A and B are shown apart, each in its own frame.
Chain A
């Protein structure tokens, strides 16, 4: 019976058997990347154990060395050279800005932000080899985030790090490829991290398993044939969006693995990058954005949002999303996604704020800490309303994920075509909700 289940072809798997799917998709895609991951993990472990027993300078040198080797595993030589040149110029620029800052007592960190972002834009639009750029965009993004945060730190009273420390920080093997962004202090903390024990091993293996699982789902989901009964464009769009999200979970958990292997982690021995559960079953778009990439959220909050909050709430939100999409090189799809999220979450925020005030109920976007409203979260009607908002959010995520699904592929349909295929329904819904806020 078991062999029947394993080996007989199923219609829902496109006339493949379970074993076929395992062999031709899951195993093949995992085996394809397993050697790379093995070496990345190995170099991170080496980095941790070697650097732990030496001084700070050796620690940075270790970081540079293993970071370089890790990059060699995944990205091309040209890209590595490009990144190194960029980092060198970045350091020089940062040094000058700092000098200028000390002499003239004016804030120059915005200049660094501007230059970095301009450089990313330049690469996105005029870089001769687009395939190369798409490969290294993520790496550059992480590097730019690190440089920006370093700049802000320096001008807020910290010392300019030595060139070793700078290079070690940016090329840290734990996060040079897949992120996450870490602050300079966090990077330095590795040396006096807590003891490794059984839970650490267990957590690492578990996260590694999760990342492979999400990789398999992301790659092999397209094999499954949706039964004709429920097959429509929404379901298939959801599948594409889900496949993209799984790819993100894969990368995020992989980055957690590298972080753990390199000896980083909080007190509980974790380093949470993303929370899939909060994204798949969201209560609002804001929560999705927060849970999507928690370190990046921290970065944006600390260095962007709080910096421009003085100009007003709405501008701060809009500015944050704008900077975020600029950090992504203002790739059209990503920019469209981020700006749409910005607009949607603004609408959701306004609407739920209004509802909360009007009905004196716990209906705000973020769960209120000490709820003083008349109707608490436990109320059934409140629960239902939250559920409806969750459904709307899931629906919006279809629209956003569909765009992201094919970023980096040539001849993918345009944003307009993709949304047109789905009748712009999400936009109409949001427009409707926005009108309600004025009633």
Chain B
């Protein structure tokens, strides 16, 4: 009898601890394993002409969750865009953080592990940025691929132009054009929705970490969506507006990276809030929630409606009660960042040893700060680079090879 009780207790404890471990390690990376798709194959091999090929790749297969695989199957060609987006995200992240102690390194990536290393196990700013930029990049890349016609399930047709009522007849502001997005307007919508389906798969809004991921993913998408804007210009006799032409302004991904970096610097720290799920429609109730069924280019989606609203309809509470609650475009985190100065294998931090620094800068890229006061080594190296490039019509660029001496400072 006693023995059984003990075993039950042990079993129970085991279960609890197992579950704990589960959420600690697997739970973190669950929604983010797809990042590995970036390293799944060289982008050149991913020919858009044969979208099935990538899907068949077993290494890709392994990184995706069941739902993600289904999405990829149902939207042929989308995986190429996702892979492109993931690479774009890495590239942009490394560009934005090139001068920081944490430089968004993906160097110690092993198959089956998280692309950005163990840092994503912590709920810190850096993690917030990674989630936001990857989600933004997928939105951006998918929307683009849409307009290029690389994804069969979303197509850019101009036919809706004619069918749409041209004039908003007797609305309150009569005469104001009922102008919806011109041209390939639905692409960003598709990108947005796809990103929600694909990127947010693993996150279910159960704990603070998942809420944080959801919020940051959504923030990344919001940045893409708000940057993609319509511009119009009037034309007519002497400054009148007889006809209006509109076009779309697609932001280069750099702009989104810059904006997200700004949000990174001003990220808000949040804590668990008791009124979490109470539909406080502040941050996440953007128009995509409402316009879901309008869109004809819907991604096959089983769980729409109420569950969806709950997934995004939460409000995070600021850690410092005097601060404002984070908005839909803000990045959120709940743990302070670890020090990135020294190597920390436990967190997968490389440290700044051997990094190049700028001896004249007093900023973060300056040798004092970047090397964390350890000092630096100065070397003069020969650099061979292409220079004096001239363009010959058409279409050739001819360059000379220049050898220059460069002084390089590296952290000790």
Contacts and interface: CB of A to CB of B under 8 A. Distances in A.
- A and B held together in a complex: yes
B395 to A, nearest CB: 4
Contacts of A334: 238-239
Contact of B242 (A2, A25, A139, A248): A139
A136 B240 contact: yes
Contacts of B16: none
Given A218-B235, A251-B235, A35 B162 contact: yes
B237 A179 contact: yes
Nearest to B237: A138
A436 interface: no
A78 interface: yes
B281 to A, nearest CB: 30
B196 to A, nearest CB: 24
B395 A28 contact: no
A77 B174 CA distance: 9
Interface stretch (A13-21, A297-305, A349-357, A422-430): A13-21
Contact of B240 (A5, A14, A137, A215): A137
A171 interface: no
Nearest to A139: B242
B238 A76 contact: no
Interface string A300-339: 0000000000000000000000000000100101100000
Interface stretch (B43-51, B245-253, B261-269, B362-370): B245-253
A287 B258 CA distance: 48
B21 interface: no
A132 interface: yes
A33 B238 contact: no
A15 B233 CA distance: 22
Nearest to A404: B239
A215 B183 CA distance: 16
B234 A408 contact: yes
A434 interface: no
Interface in A127-186: 129, 131-132, 134-139, 141-142, 177-179
Contacts of B397: 1, 4
Contacts of B236: 135, 137-138, 178, 251
A218 B242 CA distance: 16
Interface in B202-251: 231, 233-243, 245-250
B169 A77 contact: yes
Select the residue from B147, B231, B239 with max chain A CB neighbours within 10 A.
B239
A262 B19 CA distance: 79
A24 B249 contact: yes
B243 A74 contact: yes
8 contacts: A1-B395, A14-B252, A16-B252, A25-B247, A79-B175, A177-B243, A293-B238, A331-B239
B176 interface: yes
B241 A32 contact: no
A36 to B, nearest CB: 7
A75 B252 CA distance: 35
9 A-B pairs with the lowest CB-CB distances in the bound complex, closest first: A138-B237, A407-B239, A138-B240, A28-B247, A15-B252, A132-B175, A137-B240, A1-B395, A29-B247
Given A2-B395, A138-B237, A131 B245 contact: no
A419 to B, nearest CB: 17
Given A29-B246, A32-B246, A218-B233, 20 more contacts: A9-B252, A20-B250, A25-B248, A31-B182, A32-B183, A32-B247, A33-B245, A77-B169, A79-B175, A131-B173, A134-B240, A135-B236, A135-B240, A137-B236, A139-B242, A251-B236, A407-B240, A408-B240, A408-B241, A409-B234
B294 to A, nearest CB: 21
Contacts of B184: 28
Contacts of A220: 247
Nearest to A179: B237
Contacts of B238: 138, 141, 248, 293, 328, 334, 404
Contacts of A28: 182-184, 246-248
A48 interface: no
Interface of A: 1-2, 4-5, 9, 14-16, 20, 23-25, 27-29, 31-33, 35-36, 74-79, 129, 131-132, 134-139, 141-142, 177-179, 215, 218-220, 247-248, 250-251, 293, 328, 331, 333-334, 404, 407-409
B167 interface: yes
B239 A135 contact: no
Nearest to A20: B250
A25 B397 CA distance: 27
B158 interface: yes
A42 B409 CA distance: 70
Contacts of A251: 235-237, 242
Interface string B4-33: 000000000000000000000000000000
Interface string B326-359: 0000000000000000000000000000000000
Contacts of A29: 233, 245-247
B98 interface: no
B398 to A, nearest CB: 11
B239 A215 contact: no
Contacts of B403: none
A251 B248 CA distance: 21
B396 interface: yes
B161 interface: yes
B113 interface: no
Nearest to A1: B395
A347 B255 CA distance: 48
Nearest to B179: A32
Contacts of B240: 134-139, 141, 407-408
B323 interface: no
Contacts of A135: 175, 236, 240-242
A195 B246 CA distance: 38
Given A25-B247, A131-B176, A141 B182 contact: no
A215 B242 contact: no
Contacts of B162: 35
Contacts of B242: 74-75, 135-136, 138-139, 177-178, 251
B62 to A, nearest CB: 31
B254 interface: yes
A4 B240 CA distance: 40
B223 to A, nearest CB: 16
A32 B396 contact: no
A33 B233 CA distance: 12
Given A9-B252, A178-B236, A215-B235, A23 B147 contact: yes
Contacts of A179: 237
A327 to B, nearest CB: 9
A5 B393 CA distance: 11
Contacts of B243: 33, 36, 74, 177
Interface centre among A16, A28, A141, A215 (most CB of B within 10 A): A28
Given A28-B247, A74-B242, A138-B240, A250 B235 contact: yes
A176 to B, nearest CB: 10
Interface in B171-193: 173-176, 182-184
Nearest to A292: B238
Nearest to B185: A28
Nearest to A6: B395
Given A25-B247, A218-B235, A32 B182 contact: yes
Nearest to B147: A23
Contacts of A1: 395-397
Contacts of A136: 240, 242
A24 B235 contact: no
Given A134-B240, A142-B237, A76 B175 contact: yes
Contacts of B233: 29, 218-219, 247
